[in-house]
Structure 1
Amino acid sequence: MISEPELEGEDGGQDRTQPPAPETPREPDGSGTVVGDGLPTPPPHRVRWLWALGGAVVASAVWAGGLYVYDRTVPDLRGYRISEDLCLDADLSALSEILGGQRESRHAVEEQRAIDRSFCDVTMMPGRPGEAKDDALPTSYSSVTVNYSLHKETDPAPEFEATLTPLALSHVIERKTKRIPELGERAYLMTDSGGYTPELKVLDGRAVFSIGIVSQSISQGPPADGQPADPEPIDPAVLEPAMVEDMKALMAAVKE
């Protein structure tokens, strides 16, 4: 007898020797693409979204790193350098024509990571007439002080005008301020009411300069009237062009 062929499975032909395909759960919203054997596959747009998100993070990190490198770049010093001996760089020949020859000088220099500073103090004294009496004649002289600072990390511009007058003198001596054109970025000439202490201060980028003059007198012997004579102040209008000329020469001398 010929019998009916046996079926290998109730589902009509699936090989029971092969394990069933793993089930892939659908998305909570029921999304997914059904292919082949009827099982849903995950949507591919999630992978693309993760790649896009990762790219944005990398781009942000590179941009932030670029800003950090930019912020750490060396500022433009406009060619200014430290002065190892400011008394050599500051010739002061124009002032010497008015105040007398240079008799003695002293200088100092300090170099730091944030700022370089140089200082020079010069004594100028005119020659005395040969016929002058030696028992009561006071000798006048002038002390010329030069300062130069180079700010390598911070910008001195916002504080420049606020620090024109030393704090110790701001409430004691009345100071007059005059703007000097065409000298650095900003320049001012300060004088007191008597004209004894003219000072020229200049800002040029990260560099700050000053030239100040103080006139004094000494007596070589006991004065006839018992009181030493005060030195006659030199008109600031006479000193101003000489101070500007010497300042321009100094600024050029400390540039590389």
Structure 2
Amino acid sequence: MSTPPQSPQPADQPPQQPAQQPSVPPQPTAYPYPNPQSPPPGAFYAQPTLVGQPAPGQPMPGQPQPGNPYVQPLPYGPMPPAPNAGGAGRAVLWAVVGAVVASAAWAAGVFLIGGKSDSADLRGYSAPSDMCTSADYSSFKDEYTENDSSPTHTSLKDTALDESYCSLNLKKTGSSYADAYLTLQLDLHRKTDPGPEFTATWKNYGESHEGYDVDPVEGIGDEAYLVSHDTTSGSSSSGSRYAMLAIRDGWTTYTMSYSAYLSSYDQDKNPPALTDVSDWLKTDAKATLKQLRD
């Protein structure tokens, strides 16, 4: 069976082009910052028409090549007119050079400002290797007169975090064993801002831990919370009393906590009231933070 002849296309008709594929929308990138060469949102810059200006879609002089923000083109862009081109040529030359210099300076400024905003706000604090000898807890010494001969202390030094920790046994006069316990911890967050998580943890501590009271404390750092818990219910032989002060000053956090168990006290040696303990924590925490900034 013969194939019917196809009708020839007119000679002046261009060949049919394949259907254009829909353009792919821009994809998200893991790099969270805008292109340093892009103007800030809302800004408008009138672009002059220059001799030798790249076609639309091509990078301007001094801009990174598409797909690779680190590879820079030659800094000169289009070849400038010859020196004898007259005043118009010199004007074009200075316009091109000015655009390149301004673009480079603006990009450098963005990088410098971005570096400052990303740096850790440690407020001048330093993390000691031995927190037990560096912290102030003198307010507790009138109540607990016996010194702990072997307190526990640890420290951590890292590019992301510096940490100092101390644990002390508090003893009243004549006690063979600890009557109460005191823990101190300083953290210098060098890579991440602890603010949002700090607030979420301590401001809402009473909601996630039944029976705990949370009170904001003014005048210490950027924010501070006092967390307390008393299960003695008027008893002199059972239950416990607990209080902790959590402080954030910039990217530095400090916690100081006290705990006492009535089962370890004699009948005539009841632990101090939580109102007294709370005052001691505030006084000593302020003194400690001042010492660690000097």
Normalized against structure 2, the TM-score is what?
Answer: 0.57
Deviation string for 1:7-47 (max 9, x for gaps)?
Answer: xxxxxxxxxxxxxxxxxxxxxxxxxxxxxxxxxxx997577
- Equivalent residue number for residue 184 of structure 2: 146
Alignment match, 1:108: 154
> Which one is further off, 115-124 or 146-155?
146-155
- In 1, the alpha carbon distance for the partners of 2:174 and 2:288 equals 29
Question: What runs of 5+ residues in structure 1 fail to find an aligned partner?
Answer: 1-41, 130-137, 221-227
Asked if structure 2 preserves the Cα contact closer than 8 Å seen for 1:80 and 1:255, the reply is yes
Which has the higher relative contact order, 1 or 2, with Cα contacts under 8 A spaced 6 or more apart?
1
2:197 corresponds, among 154, 159, 171, to 159
**More off after superposition, 148-157 vs 206-215:** 148-157
Distance 1:95 1:165, change over 3 A: farther
| Bigger shift: residues 173-182 or 80-89 | 173-182
Q: How many residue pairs end up in the alignment?
A: 199
Deviation readout 1:69-97 (Å, 9 max, x if unpaired): 23334545332112111101113111222
Does the 8 A contact of 1:116 with 1:150 survive in 2?
yes
**Bigger Cα Rg:** 1
Alignment-derived partner of residue 79 in structure 1: 124
Return the offset for 1:177: 0.8
Aligned CA-pair RMSD: 3.4
Amino acid at match of 2:194: P
How many Å separate the matches in 1 of 2:284 and 2:249? 16
Deviates more, 1:171-180 or 1:72-81: 72-81
More strand per residue = 1
- Of residues 68-77 and 184-193 in structure 1, the stretch that sits farther from structure 2 once superposed is 68-77
Q: Which runs of 5+ in 2 are unaligned?
A: 1-84, 232-239
Determine if the alignment matches structure 1 residue 240 to structure 2 residue 278: yes
Residues 179 and 261 in structure 2, CA contact (< 8 A), matched pair in contact too: yes
Cα distance change of structure 1 residues 63 and 186 upon mapping to structure 2, 3 Å threshold: same
Distance 1:50 1:175, change over 3 A: farther
Report how far residue 100 of structure 1 moved. 4.3
- Residue type of the partner of 1:206? W
> More displaced, 59-68 or 170-179?
170-179
For residues 159 and 123 of structure 2, the distance between their equivalents in structure 1, rounded to whole angstroms, comes to 17
In 1: Cα distance, 2:144 partner to 2:249 partner: 27
Alignment of 1:3-152 (within 5 A): 45=88, 48-49=91-92, 51-73=94-116, 74-103=119-148, 104-128=150-174, 141-152=179-190
Counterpart in 1 of 2:78? none
Is contact 1:139-1:217 (8 Å) kept? no
SS of the counterpart of 2:165? strand
Query: CA-to-partner distance for each residue in 1:56-79, whole Å, 9 max, x for gaps?
Result: 233122211122123334545332
- Deviation for aligned residue 1:235: 2.0
CA distance in 1, matches of 2:166, 2:203: 19
What's the counterpart of residue 249 of structure 1?
Answer: 287
Is the Cα–Cα contact under 8 Å of residues 179 and 264 in structure 2 kept in the other structure?
Answer: no
Look up the SS of the partner of 1:164 in the other structure: helix
Contact 1:175–1:192 (CA under 8 A) maintained in structure 2: yes
Alignment CA distance shift 1:186-1:244 (3 Å):
same
* 1:174 equivalent in alignment to 2:211: yes
One-letter amino acid matched to 2:137 = L
Q: Distance in 2 between matches of 1:219 and 1:187?
A: 30
| 8 Å Cα contact 1:123/1:143 also seen in 2 | yes
Once residues 234 and 165 of structure 1 are traced to their aligned partners in structure 2, the CA distance between those partners, rounded to angstroms, is 25
Residues 178-231 of structure 1: per-residue CA shift (max 9 Å, x gap): 1222122211110124362210011112221110112236779xxxxxxx99x9
Distance 1:172 1:124, change over 3 A: same
Which of 242, 249, 262 lines up with 1:204 in the alignment?
249
